[in-house]
Amino acid sequence: MTARRLYYDDAFATEFTARVTSCEPALVPFSPVAKAPAWEVVLDQTAFYPTSGGQPHDVGKLGEANVIDVRDAEDEIIHTVDQPVELGEAKGCINWPRRFDHMQQHTGQHLLSAMFQERFGLPTVSFHLGSELCTIDLRGPEPSEEILEGAERAANQIIFENRPVNVRYGTADQLSQLGVRKEVERDGILRAIEIESADLQPCGGTHVQRTGQIGMLLVRRCTKVRQDWRVEFVCGRRAERFARRDFQLLQRLAEELRCAPEEVVAASERALTERDAHYKNVRALLQRLAEAEAAALQSTKVNANGIRVVARVFSEDTQEEYLAQLASQLAKFEKTVALLARSASGHVIFAQHPGAGKDLNALLKQTLQRFPGKGGGTPDFVRARLNENGHAEEAIAFAKRLISAA
Ligand SMILES: [Zn+2]
Name residue 209's amino acid: Q
CB atoms within 10 A of CB 90: 20
Under DSSP, the state recorded for 95 is -
Q: Tell me the per-residue pLDDT of 67-88, one tens digit each, with 9 for 90 and over.
A: 999 999 888 899 999 999 999 9
Distance (angstroms) between ligand 1 centre and the Cα of 200 equals 10
End-to-end Cα distance, the chain: 96
Residue range 391-402, pLDDT digits in tens: 899 999 999 999
- Asked whether the beta carbons of 25 and 45 are under 8 A apart, the reply is no
CA of 185 to the centre of ligand 1 (A): 17
Q: What is the CA radius of gyration of the chain?
A: 36
Closest listed residue to residue 166, CA positions, set 198, 134, 189:
198
What's the CA gap between 221 and 145, in Å, rounded?
A: 10
Nearest residue to 54 (alpha-carbon basis) of 108, 129, 132: 129
| pLDDT recorded at residue 33 | 58
If you measure from the C-alpha of residue 191 to the centroid of ligand 1, how many angstroms do you get, rounded to a whole number? 10
- The residues, any chain, with a CB within 8 Å of residue 276's CB and separated by 6 or more, are none
Q: Which residues of the chain have pLDDT under 70?
A: 1, 29-34, 406
| 142 secondary structure, DSSP code | P
pLDDT of residue 31: 64
Instruction: Mark 187-202 as b/e (b = at least 16 C-beta within 10 Å).
Output: eeebebbbbeebbbbb
| Contact call for residues 373 and 346 (beta carbons, < 8 A) | yes
- The rounded Å distance from CA 91 to ligand 1 centre is 27
- Report the separation in Å between the CA atom of 97 and the middle of ligand 1, taken as the mean of its atom positions: 18
Q: How far is the CA of 364 from the centre of ligand 1 (A)?
A: 71
Residue 196, pLDDT score:
93
The overall longest dimension of the chain from CA atoms, in Å, is 103
- The secondary structure of the chain in percent helix, strand, coil, rounded to multiples of 5, reads 40, 35, 30
CB atoms inside a 10 Å sphere around CB 110: 26
- Alpha-carbon distance 205 to 163, whole Å? 19
3-state secondary structure of 385: strand
| Cβ count near 107 (within 10 Å) | 29
Write down the pLDDT at residue 232: 98
Contact in structure between 331 and 378 (CB atoms under 8 Å): no
Cα(167) to ligand 1 centroid in Å equals 10
Structural contact between residues 208 and 232, judged by C-beta atoms closer than 8 angstroms = no
Question: What per-residue confidence (pLDDT) applies to 358?
Answer: 92
For residues 50 and 248, give the distance between their C-alpha atoms in angstroms, rounded to a whole number.
Answer: 36
